[in-house]
Structure 1
Amino acid sequence: MDEKRVKILDAAMEEFTEKGYQAASTNKICAKAEVSKGLIFHYFGSKEKLYIAAVSYAIDFAANEVSLEREPWADFVEMAIWSTKMKLDFNRKYPAVFGLIMQAYGNPPTELKGKLDGFFDKAIEQSKAQMNQVLSEMKLKKGVNMDATHKVMAALFQYITEKSTIYLQHHPDATMDDFIPLANEFTEMMRIVEFGICDEKKDLGE
């Protein structure tokens, strides 16, 4: 990729992450990238297209930096801890990249929301594959519907992912120790999923 284009995208990621889409200044992006405003519009055409290009660049960068090749997880708790650790490490190394991805995924600009559809499909499919891999190693109770189990686990992981992501956004210097309360909460929720909440199914006629 052209060196000047990369400098613009790097500067755009920082500005969009720090200020958000609406408040971000293309003049400041020019200053950070040390290029003229005309060159930005030559490459990208508009602020909207620059934002979309920056998000795409951030996602590709993250995909190249984060390896998903590893030994299978023993359980969902181990998988969640590994995922959180990867986010922590990546956030420390590349805060602008991480911040823009989280912004575009969790709180995208209203006017661009539809244009970002599909950007995260690959990551979502990878997460589902990881979850399915763990589920395939677990012995479910007789009569438990696998499709319903997938939906319950997906909802639980979405909840934990959103909580850890929001925490990271507000505490960029967080350590794994800071996530112990969340890990404990997740572990307790997993126990409930595994063993249920009722001691015994009573006859409705009693």
Structure 2
Amino acid sequence: MDEKRKKILEAAMEEFAEKGYQAASTNQICAKAGVSKGLIFHYFGSKEKLYIAVVSYAIDFATNKVNVEKETWKDFVEMAIWSTKQKLEFNRNYPTVFGLIMQAYGNPPGELEGKLDGFFDEAIARSEAQMNQVLSRMTLKKDVNMDAARKVMAALFNHITQISTVYLQKHPNATMEDFIPLANDFTEMMRIIEFGICEA
């Protein structure tokens, strides 16, 4: 990648992550990157296109840093704990990248509604593949539909992900010990899913 383009992307990521899309200043991005404003618009055309390029850059960076291809889990609790550890580690090492991705995914700028669709498809597909890997090792009751089970687990994981992400944003120095209450809640929810809430 062109060195000047990379400097702009990294400066913009810092500015967008810290201030959000609307409050971010292209003048500040220029100053941080050490380039002229004209060069930013030469490369990206507009603030909107710059933000979209920065989100893409951040997601590519995260994908390269977190490799799940060789990971296996015996159950969903183990998978959730591993996922939480990965988020903690990534947040500690790359807080700006993590912050921008969470912003773009959880609270995208209203002006860009619909324009970030598809950016997280690969991550969602990987998560679904992980769930399928764990489900394939479990023996379901005869009357349980596999697709319905996947949807229930996806909803539960989305819930846990949202809670842990918000917590990480508010407590960037959190440790695994801080997540024990959340892990206990998740374990209890998993137990309910596995055994049901009604007497047979």
Q: TM-score, normalised by structure 1?
A: 0.95
Q: Letter of the aligned partner of 2:78 in structure 1?
A: E
Amino acid at match of 1:132: N
1:41-98 C-alpha deviation (Å, 9 max, x unpaired): 1111110010000000000111111111334201000000000100111111111111
Separation in 1, partners of 2:178, 2:83: 15
CA distance in 1, matches of 2:197, 2:126: 30
Match of 1:11 in 2: 11
Matched, 1:43 2:71: no
Q: Aligned partners of 1:71, 1:129: CA distance in 2, in Å?
A: 11
Over the residues paired in the alignment, what is the CA RMSD in angstroms? 0.8
Identity rate, percent: 80
**Any unmatched runs of 5+ in structure 2?**
none
Indicate the residue corresponding to 1:80 in structure 2: 80
Query: Aligned partners of 2:2 and 2:71: how far apart in 1?
Result: 37
Partner in structure 2 of residue 203 of structure 1: none
Instruction: Say which is worse superposed, 49-58 or 27-36, in terms of deviation.
Output: 27-36
> After the TM superposition, which residues 108-127 of structure 1 pair with which residues of structure 2 at under 5 Å, given as runs?
108-127=108-127
1:1-206 pair list within 5 angstroms: 1-200=1-200
Segments ≥4 residues shifted beyond 3 Å: none
Cα distance in structure 2, aligned partners of 1:3 and 1:188 = 50
Partners of 2:9 and 2:35 lie apart in 1 by 12
* Count of residues paired in the alignment: 200
Report the structure number with the largest CA radius of gyration: 1
SS of the residue aligned with 2:113? helix
Query: CA separation of 1:17/1:71 partners in 2, compared to 1, >3 Å: closer, same or farther?
Result: closer
- Report the counterpart of residue 204 of structure 1 in structure 2: none
Distance (whole Å) between structure 1 residues aligned to residue 71 and residue 59 of structure 2: 24
Unaligned runs of 5+ in 1: 201-206
Once the two structures are TM-superposed, the CA of residue 31 in structure 1 deviates from its matched residue by 1.0
Q: 1:129: how far off?
A: 0.4
CA distance in 1, matches of 2:47, 2:181: 40
Determine helix, strand or coil for the equivalent of 1:74: coil
Q: Distance in 1 between matches of 2:127 and 2:164?
A: 16
Report the alpha carbon displacement of residue 141 of structure 1 after superposing the two structures with TM.
1.2
